[in-house]
């Protein structure tokens, strides 16, 4: 006879000090509020083989920044999970994509932003990848997606005509003009909590 069905594990995030070292964990469901503690995250920009960027609109039900257009995927590596494994896992969960050529471009990116009294406060390395697969959306995370020319998207963000999440605007300003061909940064430049052990 089998026992009771296992309850799904609560999703947790890695809490950080100002130097990027892990100082604890917290349940994701309760970590975002008016005084959100610094925690580890990532942002990924996924391109197809024609050089188009996949942009996503955050689900309207999300607690933080609902309905905003942003980069392909954002998420939080789980405690004890290798950073790149966490990126692949979350991108697959949110978008159904398999990633190729996953590289870190902005290893030390961090930001704090607020919307409707809820704060995001993250050390959020920025990555780029390519994919040959078509998106399969998790509606709890993503409202809709669109493939778009990177040059057009970047120009709109930089001139202020394209409305995107605050972190996406900062990231596009910091990314190379052509992130798809930019060399990746070494993983030892990631925040200490995200570096390979």
* SS3 labels along 132-176: CCCCCCCCCCEEEEEEEEHHHHHHHHHCCCCCCCHHHHHHHHHCC
Helix (H) / strand (E) element for 13: namely strand 12-16
**Which residues have CB under 8 Å from 70's CB, separation 6+?**
43, 55, 56, 57, 58, 164, 165, 167, 168
Cβ 179 vs Cβ 127: under 8 Å? no
Are 71 and 128 spatial neighbours (Cβ–Cβ below 8 Å)? Answer: no
Residue 122 known to be catalytic:
yes
Q: What does the pLDDT read at residue 30? A: 78
Which of these is catalytic: 122, 124, 141, 168? 122
Count CB atoms within 10 A of the CB of residue 10: 9
Mind listing the pLDDT tens digit of every residue in the chain (197 residues)?
A: 444 444 446 889 999 999 999 999 999 877 777 788 999 999 999 999 999 999 999 999 987 888 999 999 999 999 999 999 999 999 999 999 999 999 999 999 999 988 778 788 999 999 999 999 999 999 999 999 999 999 999 999 999 999 999 999 999 999 999 999 999 999 999 999 999 98
DSSP 78-109: PTT--HHHHHHHHHHHHH-PPPEEEEEEETT-
Catalytic, out of 74, 124, 141, 168: 74
């Amino acid at each position: 006879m089998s026992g009771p069905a296992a309850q799904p594990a609560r999703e947790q995030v890695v809490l950080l000090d100002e130097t990027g070292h892990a100082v604890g964990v917290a349940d994701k469901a309760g970590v975002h509020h008016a005084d959100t503690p610094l925690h580890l995250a990532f942002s990924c920009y996924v391109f197809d083989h024609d050089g188009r960027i996949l942009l996503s609109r955050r689900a309207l039900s999300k607690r933080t920044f609902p309905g905003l257009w942003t980069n392909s995927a954002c998420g939080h590596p789980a405690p004890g999970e290798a950073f790149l494994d966490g990126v692949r896992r979350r991108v697959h969960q949110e978008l159904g994509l398999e990633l190729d050529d996953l590289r870190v471009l902005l290893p030390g990116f961090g930001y704090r932003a607020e919307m409707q009294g809820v704060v995001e406060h993250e050390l959020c390395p920025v990555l780029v990848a390519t994919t040959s697969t078509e998106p399969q959306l998790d509606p709890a995370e993503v409202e809709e997606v669109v493939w778009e020319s990177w040059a057009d998207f970047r120009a709109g963000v930089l001139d202020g005509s394209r409305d995107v999440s605050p972190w996406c605007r900062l990231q596009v300003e910091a990314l190379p003009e052509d992130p798809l061909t930019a060399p990746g940064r070494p993983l030892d430049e990631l925040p200490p909590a995200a570096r390979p052990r």
